[in-house]
């Protein structure tokens, strides 16, 4: 199968008082119809990589190819209108929704982008139904919705554009725990219904395991482990992956408490992981 997305030896640096290398010689591929998860703790470089994939971040070196062509650096504004076959869902839905435009119109923007690329078109109401929202929400504004409803609208808007590749950066972190798995599943189903590839970024291996075909584990800008999601979950090869898994909160009857990090994890992972993983 030819690749939809190919990231090769990607390096992203931020130059301020000091140089931060956020992504360090990172390579991965996504095929059409594949769900790839990228997991890792806060600050490991996931968002920097996602932004580079959609043309919002300029690589220092390496390449990001989409359907065999280099993804141009478009910055934040131009990306939205020029490159609609790759869509992005952000952790904070407010960064992709316009507070002054009704929900229906915002989803229509996505539908228009799809029509411009030859799609036969759909209605905002259909998309609201697909993401589990009442169709009456077409006439609402974003501030009249809950955070979870806003994120569903952002997902509807992105999917209405019928992307070939959907990049979702922590799309379920802002949702309440009870709806995280169902929204993640919905994203998988809707992306695959359209034949799209999905890059699903999360720090939650338990949910990733449910929806991703393959999982890439990232630590300090690099890949420490990658493979079939179930294998990574059941038989993690790298101590960092084991630390991530053992730090997943477990119900203990009294509430949700973090489990102890893996015994063989280096001290820096053991101290930083529970805090990072409990950000939700
Ligand atoms: N604009 C920027 N300028 C300077 N440093 C940055 C910038 N954006 C990110 N960084 C740094 O790059 C590193 C990777 O950040 P990035 O946001 O990609 O990580 P992340 O894994 O997505 O984290 P989170 O899960 O908290 O969003 C961090 O050390 C961060 O502080």
pLDDT of res. 204:
86
Could you count the other beta carbons within 10 Å of the beta carbon of residue 99?
8
Q: Give the residue, out of 11, 13, 20, with the most ligand 1 atoms within 8 A of its beta carbon, to mutate for a pocket test.
A: 20
Contacts of 278 (CB under 8 A, 6+ apart): 249, 258
Q: Which helix (H) or strand (E) holds 78?
A: helix 75-82
For 162, the 3-state DSSP assignment is coil
CA distance 45 to 21: 9
Tens place of pLDDT per residue across the chain (280 aa): 579 999 999 999 999 999 999 999 999 999 999 999 999 999 999 999 999 999 999 999 999 999 999 998 887 655 555 578 999 999 988 888 999 999 999 999 999 999 998 988 899 999 999 999 999 999 999 999 998 899 999 999 999 999 999 999 999 987 888 888 888 999 999 888 888 999 999 988 889 999 999 999 999 999 999 999 999 999 999 999 999 888 876 654 333 333 444 555 555 555 444 443 433 2
Q: How far, CA to CA in Å, does 187 sit from each of 119, 141, 142, 210?
A: 20, 23, 20, 12
Closest to 50 (Cα-Cα) out of 229, 198, 225, 201: 201
Q: Give the residue, out of 11, 15, 38, 47, with the most ligand 1 atoms within 8 A of its beta carbon, to mutate for a pocket test.
A: 47
Q: Are 217 and 204 in contact (CB under 8 A)?
A: no
CA distance 199 to 88: 9
pLDDT of res. 276:
39
Bridge partners for 88 per DSSP? 167
Report residues whose beta carbon is within 6 angstroms of any ligand 1 atom.
14, 16, 20, 22, 40, 42-48
Task: Quote the ligand 1 centre to 22 CA distance (angstroms).
Answer: 6
For the chain, what's the residue count? 280
Fold observed for domain 5-85+163-233: Rossmann fold (3.40.50)
pLDDT of res. 279:
35
- For residue 45, the ligand 1 atom closest to its alpha carbon is 18
Helix, strand, coil share (%) of the chain residues, nearest 5? 40, 25, 35
Question: What values do phi and psi take at 113, rounded to 5?
Answer: -60, -40
Instruction: Look up tokens 């076959």; give the residue.
Output: 85
User: Tokens for 12?
Assistant: 């992203």
Task: Quote the ligand 1 centre to 168 CA distance (angstroms).
Answer: 16
For 227, the 3-state DSSP assignment is strand
Nearest CA to ligand 1 atom 31: 43
Q: How far, CA to CA in Å, does 57 sit from each of 13, 22, 72, 107, 169?
A: 10, 11, 10, 25, 14
Task: Quote the ligand 1 centre to 144 CA distance (angstroms).
Answer: 31
Q: Are 234 and 267 in contact (CB under 8 A)?
A: no
Task: Quote the ligand 1 centre to 42 CA distance (angstroms).
Answer: 8
Single pTM value for the model: 0.88
The domain spans of the chain are 5-85+163-233
């Amino acid at each position: 199968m030819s690749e939809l997305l190919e990231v090769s030896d990607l390096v992203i640096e931020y130059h301020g008082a000091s140089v931060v290398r956020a992504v360090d010689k990172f390579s991965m591929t996504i095929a059409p119809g594949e769900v790839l998860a990228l997991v890792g703790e806060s600050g490991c470089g996931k968002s920097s990589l996602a932004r580079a994939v959609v043309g919002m971040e300029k690589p220092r070196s390496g390449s990001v190819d989409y359907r065999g062509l280099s993804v141009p650096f478009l910055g934040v504004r131009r990306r939205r209108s020029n490159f609609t076959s790759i869509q992005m869902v952000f952790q904070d839905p407010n960064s992709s929704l316009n507070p002054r435009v009704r929900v229906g119109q915002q989803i229509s923007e996505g539908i228009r982008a799809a029509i411009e690329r030859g799609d036969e078109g759909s209605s905002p109401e259909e998309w609201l139904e697909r993401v589990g929202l009442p169709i009456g929400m077409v006439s609402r504004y974003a501030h009249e919705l809950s955070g979870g409803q806003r994120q569903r609208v952002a997902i509807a808007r992105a999917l209405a554009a019928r992307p070939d590749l959907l990049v979702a950066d922590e799309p379920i972190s802002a949702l309440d725990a009870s709806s995280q798995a169902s929204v993640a599943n919905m994203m998988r189903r809707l992306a695959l219904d359209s034949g799209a590839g999905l890059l699903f970024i999360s720090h939650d291996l338990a949910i990733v395991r449910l929806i991703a075909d393959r999982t890439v584990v990232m630590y300090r800008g690099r890949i420490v482990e990658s493979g079939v999601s179930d294998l990574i979950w059941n038989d993690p090869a790298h101590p960092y992956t084991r630390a991530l898994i053992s730090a997943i909160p477990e119900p203990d009857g009294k509430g949700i408490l973090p489990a102890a990090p893996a015994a063989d994890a280096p001290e820096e992972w053991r101290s930083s992981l529970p805090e990072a993983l409990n950000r939700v």
